[in-house]
Amino acid sequence: MHILLMGPPGAGKGTQAAKLVEEFGVAHISTGDMFRAAVKNQTELGKRAQECMAAGKLVPDDVTIGIVKERLAQDDCKKGFILDGFPRTVEQAEALEKILKELDLALDCALNIDVPSAELVERAVGRRICKKCGATYNIKFKPPVKEGICDACGGELYQRADDSEATMKNRLAVYDEQTKPLIAFYKQNGLYKEVDGRQSMEAVYSDIIAALRG
Ligand code: ADP
Ligand code: AMP
């Protein structure tokens, strides 16, 4: 399995990637998670990414492409991978083609989770993440049993700083301008598939499985 999960912020990429990783044991490559870890540890990369992330803008292509190139060369990617949140620009998509060619790999498909923007703000603003294990919840759509506490590991839940309504609006504008053109890019090379992301998490997952088999 070598796939891209595409879709606007809040579409459910991370949620579905977690299920796919559990089922298929492939590597989960989320550039957003990588940047958040770097910011938390205040590495050089984190210091560069921080400002862009806080403003809802994209981290520069050269930086992002560099970290994905390194990540894809790691051993655990040999069992397959899910790219989540990368590529986000046509330049990143072109760089990915080059990187995969060098590694003698090819994508199986680029799977877009389609959700209208009106629903995305509510999803993002309600998103909560476990500090300890990274599990994702939603105060409305997937509340934890005990408020503020992770069902899986008992860790404390937090809200991402960029999941405010104002920053989310910027992120959606950036998506429309810079990331949406990737739909045409992957349609053109025949890898594009789409699922309706407005359904329940379970229904989206079964449509993804069907799309991957089809
Ligand atoms: P992305 O990785 O695309 O930004 P997430 O997987 O983190 O999105 O999901 C964003 C928020 O929406 C989370 O709080 C998640 O629990 C919730 N969510 C994910 N899929 C669905 C769905 N099908 N219906 C309702 N809420 C969802
Ligand atoms: P995400 O977790 O995918 O919502 O990403 C959070 C933030 O990380 C984005 O708003 C960007 O600032 C940054 N980011 C994540 N992936 C990329 C990427 N492929 N290119 C540029 N910036 C990214």
Contact 9 CB / ligand 1 (< 6 Å) = yes
**Which ligand number lies closest to the CA of residue 124?**
1
Ligand 2, residues 53, 121, 167, 168: which to mutate, most atoms within 8 A of Cβ?
A: 53
Of 64, 115, 121, 123, nearest in space to 93 by CA: 64
Segment 24-83, tens digit of pLDDT: 999 999 999 999 999 999 999 999 999 999 999 999 999 999 999 999 999 999 999 999
From atom 22 of ligand 1, which residue's Cα is the shortest distance away?
Answer: 201
Spatial contact of 160 and 37, defined as CB atoms under 8 Å apart: no
**Is 13 an annotated catalytic residue?**
yes
CA of 123 to the centre of ligand 1 (A): 6
Q: Spot the catalytic one: 19, 160, 169, 187.
A: 160
d(CA 160, CA 169): 15
Segment 107-148, tens digit of pLDDT: 999 999 999 988 999 999 999 999 999 999 999 999 999 999
Please tell me the pTM assigned to this model: 0.97
**DSSP codes joined into one string, 73-141:** TSGGGGG-EEEES---SHHHHHHHHHHHHHTT---SEEEEEE--HHHHHHHHHTEEEETTT--EEETTT
Atom of ligand 1 nearest to the CA of 203: 23
Of 6, 5, 12, nearest in space to 124 by CA: 12
Segment 139-197, tens digit of pLDDT: 999 999 999 999 999 999 999 999 999 999 999 999 999 999 999 999 999 999 999 99
Contact 167 CB / ligand 2 (< 6 Å) = no
Residue 214 — very low, low, confident or very high, per pLDDT cuts 50/70/90? confident
From atom 9 of ligand 1, which residue's Cα is the shortest distance away?
Answer: 12
Strand pairing class (2-6; 81-84): parallel
